[in-house]
Structure formats: C-alpha cells, structure tokens
Structure 1
Amino acid sequence: MRELVYTGFCSLDGVVDSPGDPAEGHRGGGWVSDVEFVPEAFSLKGEELEDTTALMFGRRSYELFAPVWRESDDHAAYQELPKYVVSSTLSGDALVEGWGPTTILRSTGDVAELKKSAGGAIFIHGSAELARRLSDARLIDRYNLLVFPVLLGAGKTLFSNADKDKQRLTLRESTAYPNGVLKLIYDVVD
C-alpha cells in the first residue's frame, strides 16, 4: 500500500490558504515571509525529497504550481516524478507539457485505488480542498506540517468541519525553531 502524505505550511489556526503571496487570493497572503527566515525551519522540504516518489495536486494547485515548478531550479527534483491531479473537470489537453508524466484521477475512489498500487510515497502539495476530502475519506497516512506563528482568522483550512469519527495521530517528529515555526510530523494511526 502506498503512503499518502500531506505536506504544507499552516497557520496556528489551521489555515493553509495563500502562504506564499497575496496574489494567491487570501487577504493575508504571503504570511510565510512575514516570519524571520531560519533555513533549518525549511529543511523539511528537502528531507521530503528522499521519500517522494510521486506528487499529487488538486486542479487549482496543479494549475498554479505546474508552470512555475517546471521552470524552477528549486523544484528540479520534481521534474520527472509522476504527478497525479485529482479533478473531475481538468481536461487532458490542459496538462502542462514538459513536466514529467501526469495522470488525471477523477475521484476519491481513484485515489484509493492508486494507494493500492506498487510504489513509494505520494506527497500532496497545497491543494487544501483535496486534502480535506482525502482526510475525510481516511486516505491520508501522514501529515508533514510547518506551523507558523500567525492567526489568519479565515481562509482555506487543512481540515473540514464535517461530522466524522475521531482519527488518532502519533507524533513522529517535532522541532521548534527560534522564529516560532514548528515542524510537526504525524502518522495517522486509525
């Protein structure tokens, strides 16, 4: 069974919306850069590359990341990795050329089937709506979070408010950095 890992930046109140730039849509966008840069706080992103065998996105995150990451030296290691886009509306001709093999999955059921296939860990980047759906469906196996010391009060959150059964997590690793950022890695137990 392949492991499905959500990785992302998160505010203390659970918002994952527009961490990099106000142009991403949130009025408080760019909140990651509001915190003093401490390189070791971002080391998680490099460490993840060792485990990443494929990437997964929702449609909007794919449309935002693909054209930028394809040209980015910082994301060169992602170039040839298989990519999966979960979307009921994205057409095959809308896929970004020159960014490795990309498959469109049409449903949460398709994601569940992909997890049963041979291969290593699949990392979900951004994609708040997808993360909520997959979490509610109990398909996410691990959360790699960098929690920032900011309260945004509104925006896309990592977890839904759906009435669902309790899900237990086990802390795999945690680190607090001098700038107030917390690295939290949780395995989903059940």
Structure 2
Amino acid sequence: MNTDERNTLTRELVYTGFMSIDGIVDSPGGVAEGHSAGGWVPRTPFVPEAFALKGAELAETPALMFGRRSYEAFAPIWSTSEDHAAYRDLSKFVVSSTLDRGSLIDGWGDITVLRTVDDVAAVKAGDGGAIFIHGSAELARGLSEAGLIDRYNLLVFPVLLGEGKSIFSRAAQTGQTLRLRESEAYSNGVLKVVYDVER
C-alpha cells in the first residue's frame, strides 16, 4: 500500500494515552505492569480536570484497538468496570499474529482479531468512525511507521523515566509534522496535547 492510498483512508486512527516528559508510556498504573518506576500516574497529585480528556473520549469513541498484551491486561478489568461501561458494546480490534479467538473475553461486544498492518489499513478504509488505540506501545509504533496513525491524544506527566516503552520510533526519520489541535496545562504539571498528523 503506497502513501497516496493511505491518505484516502476514511476512518481516523487515534492513539490515546499517558506519557512521561521523555516520551515513555510504560507502566503508568503500577510496577506490576513491568517498569521499575511504574505507577507514575497515581503518584502525580490528582486534579480532576487533568483527566477531562478521558471523559470526552468516552463520548467520542465508536471503536477500540489493542495489541495482544494490552488487550490481555485491559479486557478482564474494563469488561466489568462501571468506569468503562460505555466501552462494553463497542466494536473492538485486537492486532496479534498469535492470539486465538478462544482467548477472547465473552460479553464484551464484537471483537475482531487482525493479523497484520495491512489488515489494520483495510479496517481504516471502511466505515464506522474513529478507532482509539489504548496502551499498545509496540502496535502504535508500528502503525505510526506505516503512516496509519492520524491523531495523538496525550496526557503528558511531569516525570522522567529514562527508559521503557515508547510509541515513537528511535530510528532516523525524515521528520513527520504534527499539527496542534488543542492543549492545556494543569496545576499538577500534567499537559494535555492533542496533535493531528499532517500528511
């Protein structure tokens, strides 16, 4: 699939997540997620308005996408969580070359397993509105490198982690330009930044 073909895709693919100042998305909720400094989101003083972006996304999200590991982490919790009740009946996509359908959570809406980046591109070419990617750093990085990410909804936290998972490639690039859609700073040092990817 060439760049011109990708530019005509109709569904918007949005990465949403928490990020450190140095671009790491690893283990925001706790050490159990794998990073020795995990849990940096709950260690930041709680300011309700800093999380307003997440509430707005609940109303805006018609479909979700995960990599396998993020699906396996989120699905058992989100499928029964009242905080995520709005997600229960949404279409969901899991991108994995190894996940079998028998491992999917029952009663959590329609779930489609996609095997390749080309499968993701084919879904983007269809109808159905925006698709929001949660967690899934490796998946997001691969989709970004393939030119498939359209927007980044980021809450940037005032912490430096030094190493860990990033959604951005560390390889040399020609310079992808992002256009700032909206931003806001909060009293706890968190920044909301929403960027559209320019084609």
Q: Smaller-chain TM-score range? A: over 0.9
Q: Is the 8 A contact 1:26 1:155 kept in 2?
A: yes
What is the letter of the counterpart of residue 82 of structure 2? D
Counterpart among 95, 100, 114 of residue 109 in structure 2: 100
Alignment match, 2:97: 88
- Find out whether 1:128 has 2:137 as its counterpart: yes
Indicate conservation of the 8 Å contact 1:2/1:115, yes or no.
Answer: yes
How far, CA to CA, are the matches of 1:151 and 1:18 in structure 2?
Answer: 13
Where in structure 2 are the equivalents of 1:113-124 lying within 5 Å?
113-124=122-133
Q: In structure 1, what is the equivalent of residue 118 of structure 2?
A: 109
Identity %: 67
**2:156 aligned partner:** 147
CA distance in 1, matches of 2:123, 2:172: 26
* Deviation, structure 1 residue 165: 2.8
Letter of the structure 2 residue corresponding to residue 77 of structure 1: A
When the two structures are superposed, what TM-score results if normalisation uses the length of structure 2? 0.94
CA-to-partner distance for each residue in 1:11-61, whole Å, 9 max, x for gaps? 000000000111111101100011100000001001012221100000000
| Matching residue's letter, 2:93 | Y
Partner Cα distance (1:143, 1:87) in 2:
22
TM-score (norm 1): 0.98
The match for 2:18 among 9, 17, 31 is 9
Q: C-alpha deviations, 1:113-143, integer Å up to 9, x for none?
A: 1100011110000000001000111100000
Letter in 2 for 1:39: P
1:71 is paired with a residue of what secondary structure?
coil
Runs of 4+ with deviation above 6 angstroms: none
SS at match of 1:55: strand
Provide the residue aligned with 1:164 in structure 2: 173
1:62 partnered with 2:71: yes
| Per-residue deviation, residues 67-114 of structure 1 (Å, max 9, x unmatched) | 000110000000000000000000010111111110000000100111
- Partner Cα distance (1:93, 1:179) in 2: 43
Partner of 1:19: 28
**Letter in structure 1 aligned against 2:103:** A
Residue 164 (structure 1) shift? 3.1
1:51 touches 1:120 (CA, 8 Å); kept in 2? no
Q: What is the total number of aligned residue pairs between the two structures?
A: 190
Is 1:181 the counterpart of 2:190? The answer is: yes
Unaligned runs of 5+ in 1: none
Q: Report the alpha carbon displacement of residue 162 of structure 1 after superposing the two structures with TM.
A: 2.3
Which of 29, 44, 50 pairs up with 1:35? 44
Counterpart CA distance in 1 for 2:187 and 2:76 is: 34
- When the two chains are superposed, the root-mean-square deviation of aligned CA atoms in Å is 0.7
Conserved? CA contact 1:171–1:184, under 8 Å:
yes
